[in-house]
Amino acid sequence: MRTQVAIVGAGPAGLLLGALLHRAGVDAVIVERRSADYVLSRIRAGVLEQTTADLLDEAGVGARMHAEGLPHGGIELSFGGTRHRIDIQQLTGGKHVTVYGQTEVTRDLMHAREVDGLTTVYEAEGVSVHDFDGARPRVRYQHGGVWHEIECDFIAGCDGFHGVCRASVPTAAIQLFERVYPFAWLGLLSETPPVREELIYTRHERGFALCSMRSPTRSRYYLQCSLDDKVADWSDDAFWDELRHRLDPEAAESLVTGPSIEKSIAPLRSFVAEPMRFGCLFLAGDAAHIVPPTGAKGLNLAASDVGLLARAFAEFYAGSEQGIATYSERCLRRVWKAERFSWWFTSLMHQFPDNNAFGQRMQQAELAYLVGSVAASTVLAENYVGLPLEH
Ligand code: FAS
Ligand code: PHB
């Protein structure tokens, strides 16, 4: 098989890249290790920046997001038993985020790809990438017991943190930056109305908590938990009791509980691989960087990477190498700013085992300053809605 761009991974990065390339008249094939149902079963992000919403529109898949997504102009910070609203829309001159689950984004992209009759190979085994620094870049995989090879001009490594593409880069050619956090997030999805209309980020001495949602009838909650915790350690009742302990009294009182429809534990890390290009191999999304989900940046960074990459490939086929030559540096400027914001917000809102009494007071003082200063709240607001894209 031959194509212009071979995309490894059918998560949001790979699927959005494929959709944008199709719109630009560039041929691409996606090779995915898992089944489509498995990809859809992973419950992850929930908040889209405007730049991500714009890219979904550009890819022609924004209709359901506009119909079912929830525009949010603010968030609430809860600490010391009270909640403080950050008026994001007012502080950013009218910008907002859209609450629309990653699962739905992925579903919309998969549907569009099927309607357009584009090639996606699911349940591909033994995927490997070859000669990406030579003249004949190729992707090999086994499907149904038969080995296949895709000859291409470019390989897009959209295969996430545990993928094969970054792992195939010689160690001397790549620099890794990482911070692993001493805790995890326990997430729960329930068919219950959200506790408030907007998200609540809670700092509590028992640990961080986040109240989010997927719709007016479906809620998504997170609790900071130990890295040693297992989902089986947390009954639904134990989850709801702990969440009530961490919420302010009014929110705890209005919390509607119900059976979980999904529960999962995710470790938190900050991670960046530099550069994001190796010859004909380009990394995008979680394959290149990971942020702790506190700042709701992971999915949005993946989208902005592939927005730049799709444009760069289209420019290449139109005769300019400028886009592919500057892809890595342009992505990394935005990635590092999102890494900073996600690290800062995580450090502010979570309990750290080595945080002494002074550290607790520093967190409390920073939160008091944050909600009392227009300048400080503006910094939070403009990072939360997403910094401008470089074109
Ligand atoms: P993904 O990991 O989504 O997709 C990569 C794809 O490549 C997967 O489908 C995988 O099966 C496939 N793949 C891997 N190896 C392969 C191989 N060798 N061959 C072929 N295919 C291969 N972000 C937020 O903003 N908010 C959140 O609350 C949030 N929660 C998260 C919870 C968890 C458990 C995780 C892991 C991430 C979370 N994220 C969150 C971040 C998440 O949303 C990512 O940023 C987003 O999925 C990035 O998309 P991709 O880069 O496409 O990577
Ligand atoms: C979610 O709804 O899954 C979500 C929202 C905001 C975050 C993290 C996760 O910061």
Ligand 1 atom at minimal distance to the Cα of residue 31: 20
Q: Are 282 and 308 found together in one domain? A: yes
What is the reported pLDDT for 390?
A: 76
Nearest protein Cα to ligand 1, atom 24: 45
Q: Which of 100, 141, 181, 201 is catalytic?
A: 201
C-alpha 226/C-alpha 171 separation (Å) is: 32
CB atoms within 10 A of CB 325: 12
Q: Are 220 and 329 found together in one domain? A: no
Q: Which ligand is nearest to the CA of 208?
A: 2
Q: Are 142 and 262 found together in one domain? A: no
For residue 37, give the 3-state DSSP assignment: helix
Residue 229: domain span:
181-267+352-383
Burial readout 238-251 (b: 16 or more C-beta within 10 A, e: otherwise): ebbebbeebbbeeb
**Domain CATH number, residue 191:** 3.30.9.10
Q: Are 250 and 357 found together in one domain? A: yes
CB of 377 within 6 A of ligand 2: the answer is no
Q: Are 107 and 214 found together in one domain? A: no
Substitution site in 125, 159, 223 for ligand 1 pocket (most atoms within 8 Å of beta carbon): 159
Q: Which residues line ligand 1 (CB under 6 A)?
A: 8-14, 31-34, 39, 44-46, 102, 124, 127, 158-160, 162-164, 266, 285-286, 293, 296-299, 302
Q: Are 237 and 208 found together in one domain? A: yes
Q: Are 199 and 293 found together in one domain? A: no
Q: Are 332 and 292 found together in one domain? A: yes
The answer to whether position 89 is within a domain reads: no
Q: Are 212 and 139 found together in one domain? A: no
CB of 102 within 6 A of ligand 2: the answer is no
The answer to whether position 77 is within a domain reads: no
**Domain CATH number, residue 336:** 3.50.50.60
The answer to whether position 240 is within a domain reads: yes
Q: 296's torsion region: left (phi>0), alpha (psi -120 to 50) or beta?
A: left
The phi and psi torsions of 322 (rounded to 5 degrees) equal -55, -45
Nearest protein Cα to ligand 2, atom 4: 46
CB of 214 within 6 A of ligand 2: the answer is no
The answer to whether position 250 is within a domain reads: yes
Ligand 1 centre distance from Cα of residue 298 (Å): 9
The answer to whether position 87 is within a domain reads: no
Q: Are 171 and 102 found together in one domain? A: yes
C-alpha 215/C-alpha 294 separation (Å) is: 20
CB of 383 within 6 A of ligand 2: the answer is no
- Across the beta sheet with 277-278, the strand order is 120-121, 28-31, 5-8, 154-157, 281-283, 277-278
CB of 293 within 6 A of ligand 2: the answer is yes
- Those residues of the chain that have pLDDT short of 70 are 391
Check if 95 is active-site. Answer: no
CA nearest neighbour of 297 among 284, 285, 315, 312? 285
Check if 275 is active-site. Answer: no
Q: Which of 72, 204, 263, 289 is catalytic?
A: 72
Check if 66 is active-site. Answer: no
Substitution site in 212, 264, 301 for ligand 2 pocket (most atoms within 8 Å of beta carbon): 212
Q: Are 174 and 185 found together in one domain? A: no
What is the reported pLDDT for 348?
A: 98
What is the reported pLDDT for 384?
A: 98
Query: How many structural domains are present in the chain?
Result: 2
Ligand 2 atom at minimal distance to the Cα of residue 44: 3
The answer to whether position 388 is within a domain reads: no
Check if 384 is active-site. Answer: yes
Per DSSP, 171 falls in state: G
Q: What is the CA radius of gyration of the chain?
A: 21
Ligand 1 centre distance from Cα of residue 132 (Å): 23
Check if 201 is active-site. Answer: yes
Q: Are 61 and 200 found together in one domain? A: no
The answer to whether position 274 is within a domain reads: yes
For residue 86, give the 3-state DSSP assignment: strand
Q: Which of 100, 221, 222, 384 is catalytic?
A: 384
Q: Which long-range contacts (CB under 8 A, 24 or more apart) does 91-94 make?
A: 91/374, 91/377, 91/378, 91/381, 91/382, 92/378, 92/381, 92/382, 92/385
What is the reported pLDDT for 391?
A: 66
The answer to whether position 78 is within a domain reads: no
